[in-house]
Structure 1
Amino acid sequence: MNNYDAIIIGAGACGLMCAAQAGLLGKKTLVLERNDKPGAKILISGGGRCNYTNLHTSTDNFVSENPKFLNAVFAQWTVEDTISFFENFGQIKGQEKTLGQLFPISNKAKDIVSTFTQLMYDTGQDIWLNTLVKEVRQSDTEYILTIERDGRLETLVAAKIVFASGGLPVAKLGASDFALRTARALGMEIVPTAPALVPLTITGKEADWYASLSGNSVYARVYNDKISFEENILFTHWGLSGPAVLQISSYWKAGEVFTMDLLPRFKLGELITEERSAGGKRTVGQLLQGYFTKKMVEALTRFLPVDVKIASLSKADANLVVDTIHKFKVKPAGDKGYDKAEVMRGGLSTAELHPKTLEAKKYPGLYFGGEAVDITGWLGGYNFQWAWAAGYAIAQDI
């Protein structure tokens, strides 16, 4: 297979960008994809709309043992580069939704994938679908791949291999730990992995209370001693989801407690004082109904004296109301696992890679990008920006 400058394992965001950019540089690559179509995870992202970057991307938006590792990659490929790339090669205009999240104006994720497949076709890149890479091992100056294709085992040889095969989330889309298993077999350091951007579960005596609010969404500030996010939370029959909860999940570990401010845009203590000044004839529940759904107020009856008039509210009860709403403590039992997670936390240690090229320090010609690396972005297009940048950086070195 010496006619290929590199073999790329995985036709996800990083792999497709790597192949496209290599093609623009006059290189010839072969992309191996286990699914029957490229970009499977891209196609379902954002509900099929694909939030393909974030205008506010910086290293602060990533979870890693060394987030500053990203500086060398992001210096080569910026958010502006992503926007220009899709405009120039896919005629895709972006539209900002909220918090810097950029979507195709068509709201079609398939337009993102089509940009790559067309560019790969135009530059003569090859892609083999329904092809499973079983093993990658090192020879003297090359790498030997064992693949399964059309029910048969084959052997490929290449001087350069790109691992862009993703991580563990969403097994039904072909997710696996193949990149991590290979790296571990080669003696490379792996940062412990866990589901990230994932719904959290509640069990025990609190479970029924959360289940009773299933389907209710509340704008909240969710925080712990590491980070704070202000977006919607969603109560479910098994616990909590919604953007703010998915965000905090990347900074949460089993056994830990985090806090929710259920009314972040107001100061409930001041509202109670104002109500007292006006006579305090309304009850606590009536006051809260101005800010929450009736179902939410009914549920809060479990914790608060909602039927007590504000004028009759003791100082202790007033503090209880304020603390419950602004400092609602949550201790999840666990998470919904990799099948419900957006991404994976942890992965191949950045210490194993050259920061500019993403080539393995110990293994020349071996590259790792995307989700397999210990780089995990926030919800909102950050992980795609990392994948595009990684694919570009690797292509430059190929």
Structure 2
Amino acid sequence: MKQYDAIIVGGGACGLMCAAQAGLLGKRTLVIERNDKVGAKILISGGGRCNYTNLGTDIDNFVSDNADFLRSAFSQWTVDDTLSFFESHGIFGEEKTLGQLFPSSNKAKDVVAVFTKILFATGQDIRLNTVVKAIEKLEDDFVLTVESEKGIQQLTTRKVVMASGGLPVAKLGASDFAIRTAKKFDMAIVPTAPALVPLTITGKEAEWYASLAGNSVFSRVYNHKISFEENILFTHWGLSGPAILQISSYWRAGEEFYIDLLPRFQLDKIIKDERNEGGKRLVSSILNDYFTKRMVEALGKFLPLETKIASLSKADAKLIIDTIHKFKVKAAGDKGYDKAEVMRGGVSTAELHAKTLESKRVTGLFFGGEAVDVTGWLGGYNFQWAWASGYAIAQAL
């Protein structure tokens, strides 16, 4: 068998960047990918357009037991490095909203092509339709048991990079193999869960949410930890949309959060101004200025829609203001890994050297990307982490 500087398990964003950067440094790697092509999750990201970084990336945009851990990787590979890297290969970014950068071609396949070209040019090897079943450590070497159409084989290498991602999107071959491997070597794991995921509503409130299915409302979604100002989407089973996906990373079962349905306006001021003009308009008329007819009708479950502003009691005015600006939500759960963008939790950062992402317990074993307890916000942050962690690992191979 060929001798490799490292075997990389997983041909996703982190694994591809690691192999590419290792190749550019004159090293030889083997990428093992269980799918029939590399970059499967890249190809479906952003609706096939690939939001490949965010111009405002900072450690505050990540959920982790120790977000400071990211400082080293992000100092080695910055957003500017991402821009320069892709531009040097013909991909120029186009900012959409909130710093989100997409290829100007709007084609995720162009991002994957950058890596496949580098891997080919630098002599890196890729094995597709191949699953790593087990990893053993024998003195200085790792022995990987792999299964493919050729049967079961054993591969030996001095260094292994676990870039096999997390649990979201099983149809793309997602698995917990990186987590199981870390546990096998007695490494600590931060409990995992779906993140950037729609939330479900059950019980007596479910029908109310379902009645609004398809309605999108620009809102501020918040809890005691954080807030996000983007669209929410009512669905037949609960809530989705960017702001809901964002808050889901900070939500735990049993917790409540709040929605400000009118974040750019102050309803108390609107009501006061309306009173000063005589207050002849109905509550429904005022709300129709800001919401769809269906939304206003649904709010009628909670609010005195047919009352004139002039006739509102202080209690009713407060009810309207609180309902619109502090709409309380108690989600029953989430839509699970198949609807999640990423996995929260993973290999504890306390187990890894921040500069190299090598295991402190097992020399030659590296973990990067989604397998690590580093979860970015929606909007390109997770790709920036994948690129940075892949780069940092490549320097140490």
Settle same-fold status: TM greater than 0.5: yes
TM-score range, shorter chain: over 0.9
Structure 1 counterpart of 2:61? 61
1:71 aligns with 2:50: no
Aligned partners of 1:13, 1:351: CA distance in 2, in Å? 23
Moved over 2 A (4+): none
Quote the Cα distance in structure 2 between the aligned partners of 1:103 and 1:290: 34
1:32–1:127 contact (8 Å) kept in structure 2: yes
Q: Within 5 A, what are the aligned runs for 1:140-151?
A: 140-150=139-149
Correspondence for 1:243: 242
Match of 2:273 in 1: 274
Match status 1:13 vs 2:13: yes
Q: 1:2: how far off?
A: 5.5
SS of equivalent residue, structure 2 residue 193 = strand
Residue 168 (structure 1) shift: 0.4
**Cα RMSD (Å):** 0.6
Deviation at 1:151, TM superposition (A): 5.0
Structure 2 residue aligned with 1:308 = 307
In the TM superposition, what are the counterparts of 1:1-398 in structure 2 within 5 Å?
Answer: 1=1, 3-89=3-89, 91-150=90-149, 152-398=151-397
Distance 1:316 1:29 in 2: 68
How many angstroms does 1:264 deviate by? 0.4
> What is the rounded CA distance, in whole Å, between the counterparts of 1:370 and 1:164 in structure 2?
6
Deviation at 1:314, TM superposition (A): 1.0
Instruction: Please give the TM-score of this superposition, normalised by the length of structure 1.
Output: 0.99
Paired residue total: 397
Partner deviation per Cα, 1:101-146 (whole Å, 9 max, x = no partner)? 0000000000000000011111111101000000001011100000
Provide the secondary structure at the position in 1 that maps to 2:338.
coil
Report the AA paired with residue 336 of structure 2. G
Q: Contact 1:254/1:334 (CA < 8 Å) preserved in 2?
A: yes
Alpha-carbon distance between aligned partners in 2 of 1:118 and 1:229, rounded to the nearest angstrom: 38
Shift of residue 225 of structure 1? 0.5
Unaligned runs of 5+ in 2: none
Cα separation, 2, equivalents of 1:323 and 1:3: 66
* 2-structure distance, mates of 1:2, 1:366: 20
Distance 1:227 1:314 in 2: 33
AA partner of residue 55 (structure 1): L
Deviations 1:183-212 (A, max 9, x none): 101100000000000000000000000000
| Alpha-carbon shift at residue 278 of structure 1 (Å) | 1.1
Q: CA offsets per residue over residues 292-345 of structure 1, 9 Å max, x none?
A: 000100000000001111111111101100000000000000000000000000
Q: CA deviation at 1:279?
A: 1.2
Instruction: Give the distance between the partners of 2:344 and 2:299, measured in 1 at CA.
Output: 34
Would you say the 8 A contact 1:34–1:129 is kept in 2?
yes
Would you say the 8 A contact 1:2–1:158 is kept in 2? no
Give the residue type in structure 2 aligned to 1:148.
E
Q: Deviations over 1:49-90 (max 9, x none)?
A: 00000000010000000000000100100000000100102x
Q: Which amino acid aligns with 1:213?
A: L
Structure 1: runs of 5 or more not aligned: none
Work out the CA distance in 1 between the residues paired with 2:326 and 2:262. Answer: 10
Shift of 1:251: 0.3
SS of the aligned residue for 2:8 comes to strand
1: CA distance, partners of 2:115 / 2:312: 63
Amino acid aligned to 1:4? Y
- Cα shift at 1:253: 0.3
d(CA) in 2 for partners of 1:12 and 1:241? 26
SS at match of 2:154: strand
Q: Shift of residue 149 of structure 1?
A: 1.2
Mapped to 2, the partners of 1:59 and 1:143 lie a distance apart of 33
Q: Helix, strand or coil for the counterpart of 2:239?
A: strand
Q: C-alpha deviations, 1:254-294, integer Å up to 9, x for none?
A: 00000100000000000001111111111001000000000
- Residues in 1 aligned to 2:144 and 2:315: alpha-carbon distance in whole angstroms: 69
TM-score scaled by length of structure 2: 0.99
Q: Distance in 2 between matches of 1:151 and 1:121?
A: 23
| Partners of 1:355 and 1:238 in 2: CA distance | 41
Residues in 1 aligned to 2:289 and 2:105: alpha-carbon distance in whole angstroms? 37
- State the identity %: 73
